[in-house]
Amino acid sequence: MSDAVVVGSTLDTGSPEPEEAAGPRGVLEVNDVMVEFDTDAGRITAVDGVSLHLATGETLGLVGESGCGKSTLARAIMQLVPMQRGSVRLEGTDLGTLPRRELRRMRHRIQMVFQDPRGSLDPRMSVSTIIGEPLRVHGIGDRTSRARAVAEAMELVGLPTAVSDRLPSELSGGQQQRVGIARAIVTDPAVLVCDEPVSALDVSIQAQIINVLDELRDELDLAMLFIAHDLSVVRHLSDRVAVMYLGQIVETGTASEVFTEPRHPYTQGLITSVPRADAESATRLQTARRLVLGELPSLLDPPSGCRYRTRCPYADDECAATEPPPEAVDHTDGLHSLRCHHWRDIAVRSGAQPSSNSQEQAP
C-alpha cells in the first residue's frame, strides 16, 4: 500500500544506494543499518550505514578484517544487537518494528551458523535433540513431523543416523559443525547467516563443510550471507561479495568482478595479500604492502572523509575533506559499486600478476 511512496522517495533522492540499485527485491533487504556501542573508552560506530540485499538461492560473501563490523552486522540482521538506524526486512517484513512475540515467530525463517561448533551446542543434549530444538521452540509440527524433519536435516548435512543419540563431545569438529548446520536448516529458513563457519576447523574438514554449504544452497534454494576472512573460501562460495572496512561497505559487486577487477584500493590490497601457492607469492606480498599502509585506525577516532584514506597510497586532500558516496562502476548496471573519490584514476589490479600501477610508473 505504501509502495508508491517508497518508490517515489527513492527516485527523488536522485542517488539510490548502489548496493541496492537494480537488484530484484530480495528475500533479505538491509537498508542503511547503523550500530553503535558504548565501550570503556567511548562510543564507537561498529556498523555505519550498511545496505545490502539477498535473493533466494543467492550467496553474498561479506569480507573484511577484524573490527570491520562484519560480525556485528550479522548480529544486527539477526536482531541480536539493537540498531541505531536503518531497517532489516525479511521476506518483506520489517524485523525491527515487530513486537518481540512476532519476531520470535519470524526467527525460524532466518537462522545462523556460528564459528565455534563446540561452543554453540549444548553439551548435555543429544545430537537429535539439539537439531530438533528450534522446531520445539517455535512450536512447529508435531512429534512425528519433527522427528522426520530432524532425520532429513541430518541426511542433508551428511550426518549418519548412528550419531543421533550421541553428545556433541563424542563427535569430531567436522561433525559438530554439521550438527550446527542441521539445526540451522531444520526450520526450513529462507536465509542462512554463516559467521566464519569453517575458520575454526582443520583444512581437510573445512573442505567438507564448504561442500555441505554449497550443496544445501543448491538443494534448498537458500539465501546465504557468508561471512569469512578467508577470501579464497568466499570466492569459492559467493555469487556476490561486499568488502567492509571500518563499519562501511567500501566495494561490492559480483564475486568474479570484485575479485578479478577490484577497484577500491583496499579491496586491491586485501586480494593481493592472500598468499597463493605459486612462484610469484613473495612478489605479490610486496605489492600488497604498498596498497595497505600502516595500521588500522581506532574506531574510537575514525578518519574524517574516506575511512580508508590513512592507509591508502592514493589519498589526497579531497579524501580527508569529503566522504566518498557509493558510486556505481558504469558498465555493470549498478551491481558493482564502491566508495572512492579516485577510482577512475586507479588501475584495475586483478592480483593475478603483481602488476605495477599507474602511480609507480610515474616518474
CB within 8 A of 263, min separation 6: which ones? 251, 329, 336, 338, 340, 343, 346, 348
Answer yes or no whether residue 274 interacts with another protein by CB under 8 A.
yes
**Which one, 23 or 354, has the nearer CB to another protein?**
354
Answer yes or no whether residue 162 interacts with another protein by CB under 8 A.
no
Cell of 106: 519470524
Quote the least distance from Cβ 79 to another protein, whole Å: 28
**Which one, 78 or 258, has the nearer CB to another protein?**
258
Residue 234: enclosing H or E segment and its boundaries?
A: helix 231-237
Q: Residue 277 and residue 211: Cα distance in Å, rounded?
A: 22
Answer yes or no whether residue 277 interacts with another protein by CB under 8 A.
yes
Answer yes or no whether residue 177 interacts with another protein by CB under 8 A.
no
Answer yes or no whether residue 213 interacts with another protein by CB under 8 A.
no
Strands 110-113 vs 191-195: parallel, antiparallel or unpaired: parallel
Answer yes or no whether residue 270 interacts with another protein by CB under 8 A.
yes
* Number of residues located near another protein, criterion CB under 8 A: 47
Q: Which member of 322, 352, 358, 360 binds another protein (CB under 8 A)?
A: 352
Q: Which member of 235, 263, 307, 339 binds another protein (CB under 8 A)?
A: 235
Answer yes or no whether residue 206 interacts with another protein by CB under 8 A.
yes
Residues 309, 319: contact at Cβ < 8 Å? yes
Quote the least distance from Cβ 207 to another protein, whole Å: 4
Q: Which member of 110, 222, 231, 249 binds another protein (CB under 8 A)?
A: 231
Candidate ranges 8-16, 37-45, 76-84, 278-286; the one touching another protein (CB under 8 A): 278-286
Residue type, 344: R
Place of cell 511512496: 5
Quote the least distance from Cβ 278 to another protein, whole Å: 6
Q: Which member of 214, 302, 332, 354 binds another protein (CB under 8 A)?
A: 214
Residues 198, 34: contact at Cβ < 8 Å? no
Answer yes or no whether residue 200 interacts with another protein by CB under 8 A.
no
**Which one, 154 or 291, has the nearer CB to another protein?**
291
Quote the least distance from Cβ 253 to another protein, whole Å: 14
CB within 8 A of 61, min separation 6: which ones? 226, 227, 228, 234, 235, 237, 238, 240, 241, 242, 255
Q: Residue 32 and residue 51: Cα distance in Å, rounded?
A: 5
Query: Exposed, middle or buried: residue 341 (CB in 10 Å: 0-12, 13-18, 19+)?
Result: buried
Candidate ranges 35-43, 119-127, 188-196, 288-296; the one touching another protein (CB under 8 A): 288-296
Residue (of 204, 255, 216, 209) closest to 63 by Cα position: 255
Answer yes or no whether residue 142 interacts with another protein by CB under 8 A.
no
Answer yes or no whether residue 222 interacts with another protein by CB under 8 A.
no
Residues 108, 188: contact at Cβ < 8 Å? yes
Residues 243, 64: contact at Cβ < 8 Å? yes
Q: Which member of 1, 4, 5, 203 binds another protein (CB under 8 A)?
A: 203
Answer yes or no whether residue 88 interacts with another protein by CB under 8 A.
no
Q: In what order do the strands lie in the sheet with 85-90?
A: 42-54, 28-39, 85-90, 93-94
Q: Which member of 172, 304, 356, 358 binds another protein (CB under 8 A)?
A: 172
Residue 22: enclosing H or E segment and its boundaries?
A: none
**Which one, 51 or 248, has the nearer CB to another protein?**
248
Summarize as ranges the residues that interact with another protein (CB under 8 A): 65-66, 172, 202-208, 210-211, 214-215, 229, 231-233, 235-237, 255-256, 259, 269-279, 281-282, 284-286, 288-289, 292, 295-296, 351-352
